[in-house]
Structure 1
Amino acid sequence: MKLRDLSRLALVPAALALLLAACQQQAPVEEAAAAPVAEAAAPAPAEAIADEPALDPNAAPAPADADADVVAEAPAPADTPAPAAEPAAPAVTFATQGEHYDPIPGGQPFEPLAGKIEVVEVFNYVCPACAMFEPLVSAWKARLPADVRFTYVPAPFGGNWDPYVRAYYTAEAMGIAGKAHDGVFKAIHVDRSLKGERGTDSPADIAKVYAQFGADPAQFASTMASFTVNAKFGRAKQYIAAQGANSTPTLIVNGRYRIKGRSWEELLQNTDRVIAQVRAGG
C-alpha cells in the first residue's frame, strides 16, 4: 500500500538509513576486457616454399589425422570471460536473546494458524510513532514469504486510544480495515480532521472518516459499541497484557518473542532474524 502523505512523517534517522542503503548498492561489475585476438601467422618466405620437395603423384594420400594435427597445433581462440556473478544477498543470521528479542514466558500467538509464523504489530492510530513506522512496516510486510502472517492488534491503553480500537474492529467486521488503514493515520496526523491524542473524537467523528471507504456512518458508529466489537476489544487487551507490550509500536513473533531494536530498521531486521529462527525450529 502507498503512503504518499504519511511518508512525510518519516523520522530523520529513517531517511538517513535509506540514503545509506542507497550508497551501499554496488555498482555493476564491468565485464573483463576480451583477450586480444591472436595475430595471424605470417606467411612463410617464398624461398622456403621453393625448397620444399615436389609432391609425388604416386605417393599415398596423407592420413586424415594429418590435417587434424595441423588444426590442433593452431592457436586456440581466447575464451571470452563469463560475466561476473552478482553478489549474493547476505544470509539472515539467527537471533540472540536479550540482543534481538526478549522471550515471553508462556506466550501464545494471537490467532494460531497451522503452518504459519505469526507477526503481530501492537499499534494504535493515535500513536505518532506508529504513524511514522507505518510506511516502513507496510513495505516490509508486503515482501513477507507465504508462511508468515502479519496481524495488527490495536492497543487499548485507555483514554483517547480506546475508541480507535473499537474503530479498527468495526472496520474489520465491515471488511474495510485494510483499505482504510492509511486513511485513518492520515486523518489524525496529516489532515488533522480527527484529533487523536489532541482531543476527544466521538464515534460519529470517526465514522465520517470511515465513510470515505464505503462505511455507512450511522451503522459504523453503532457497531463500535456492539457485542462483537466489545469481545474483540477485551481479547486485544488481554493479549497485550500477557505479552508485556506496554508501548507502541511493538512487534511480537508467535507470541513468544518480543522484538527489540534501536531504530525502525533494526526492529524489522531483528524480526527477520527471529522469523528465520522459528522457521528452522528454534
Structure 2
Amino acid sequence: MSAAFLAAILFSVASVSASAQNTAAQWQEGEHYDIINEQLNPRLGIVEIFSFWCPHCFQFESIASQLKSKLPEDINFTKAHVEFMRSAPVNIQQEATKMMLVARAINREDSFNKALFKAIHEDKKHFNSVEAIKEILLEQGVDGEKVLKLADSFGMKSRINRNNKLTEGINEVPTFIVNGKYKAKFTRDMTPDSFVELILWLTKQP
C-alpha cells in the first residue's frame, strides 16, 4: 500500500468522523428534540401524530412525503390521527380516523388523506355527518361493501385502539416521534430539509 493511498484513506475516515461530529453538534436535546421515553422501540419507526383539521399538519404533508422518500426500507412510517381539534365535532374526527385506517388496509391511505386534506383546507368544506367523511373514501374508487365490512370489523377496533395508543399524551400537532423515544422539534431556524435531516439522524440514535 502506497503512502499516498494510505493518506487518502485516513483523510476519508477523518472527514466522515468530522461530519458525524458536526451533525451531532448541530442537533441538541431540549432545543431540537426531546427524550420522551428511556427505552428505544425501533419497531415503531417514525410516527407522525396529526389531525386533518390542523392547518400546520396540512402544510407538513410535503415534508412528510419528502421524509418517507428518504427512509430506508426497514424503517416504518405511520400516521396516527388525533380527535381533539375544536374545529370539528368529535364524532366526525373519529370517523376520519376510522376511514383513514380503512384506507390504509386497502392501500388507499395516501389518496384518501390527500383528498380529505384538500376538502378541508382548500375547498373549505364543513363535514356535518360521518357519511360525508366516508364518501371521501368511496370517491377514491374503492369497493363500498368492502369499506363497510372493514369499518365494522373486530380488526378495525384493534387498529383504532392502536392509533389512540400512539396519540396518548400528545396535545399538539403535528408531532413526530422517532422509535418511541425521541420527539423531534421544528424550530424557527429550520427549513423542511433540515427537519428531515434531524429525523433521519434521530433514527440512528441509541
**What interval of TM-score do these two structures reach, taking the shorter chain for normalisation?**
0.7 to 0.9
Structure 2 gap ranges (5+): 1-17
The whole-number CA distance in structure 1 between the counterparts of 2:166 and 2:39 is 9
- Pick aligned residue for 1:180 from 112, 115, 134: 112
Give yes or no for the alignment of 1:122 onto 2:53. Answer: no
The whole-number CA distance in structure 2 between the counterparts of 1:137 and 1:265 is 15
Query: What is the aligned partner in structure 2 of residue 97 from structure 1?
Result: 29
Deviation at 1:122, TM superposition (A): 0.5
SS at match of 1:185: helix
Asked if 1 retains the 8 angstrom alpha-carbon contact of 2:81 and 2:97, the reply is: yes
- Pick aligned residue for 1:154 from 55, 68, 81: 81
Amino acid at match of 1:254: N
Deviations 1:18-62 (A, max 9, x none): xxxxxxxxxxxxxxxxxxxxxxxxxxxxxxxxxxxxxxxxxxxxx
Query: What is the aligned partner in structure 2 of residue 232 from structure 1?
Result: 159
- Pick aligned residue for 1:258 from 153, 163, 183: 183
Give yes or no for the alignment of 1:201 onto 2:133. Answer: no
Structure 1 gap ranges (5+): 1-89
Query: What is the aligned partner in structure 1 of residue 99 from structure 2?
Result: 167
Asked if 2 retains the 8 angstrom alpha-carbon contact of 1:169 and 1:232, the reply is: yes
Amino acid at match of 1:231: S
SS at match of 2:60: helix
Give yes or no for the alignment of 1:112 onto 2:58. Answer: no
Query: What is the aligned partner in structure 2 of residue 49 from structure 1?
Result: none
The root-mean-square deviation of aligned C-alpha atoms, in Å, is 3.0
Q: Please identify, of 263-272 and 147-156, the stretch whose mean Cα deviation from structure 2 is larger.
A: 263-272
Deviation at 1:216, TM superposition (A): 2.9
**What are the within-5 Å matches in structure 2 for residues 209-228 of structure 1?**
209-217=136-144, 219-221=146-148, 223-228=150-155
More helix by share: 2
Q: Which has the larger radius of gyration?
A: 1
TM-score for both structures, normalised by structure 2: 0.72
Deviation at 1:273, TM superposition (A): 3.0
Asked if 2 retains the 8 angstrom alpha-carbon contact of 1:207 and 1:221, the reply is: no
Query: What is the aligned partner in structure 1 of residue 170 from structure 2?
Result: 245
Q: 1:181 to 1:277 in 2, by over 3 A?
A: closer
Deviations 1:69-107 (A, max 9, x none): xxxxxxxxxxxxxxxxxxxxx957123210111111245
Query: What is the aligned partner in structure 2 of residue 142 from structure 1?
Result: 69
SS at match of 1:112: helix
Q: Please identify, of 215-224 and 158-167, the stretch whose mean Cα deviation from structure 2 is larger.
A: 215-224
Asked if 2 retains the 8 angstrom alpha-carbon contact of 1:104 and 1:257, the reply is: yes
SS at match of 2:103: helix
Deviation at 1:201, TM superposition (A): 3.0
Query: What is the aligned partner in structure 2 of residue 41 from structure 1?
Result: none
The whole-number CA distance in structure 1 between the counterparts of 2:190 and 2:65 is 12
SS at match of 1:140: helix
**What are the within-5 Å matches in structure 2 for residues 45-60 of structure 1?**
none
Deviation at 1:179, TM superposition (A): 2.8
TM-score for both structures, normalised by structure 1: 0.55
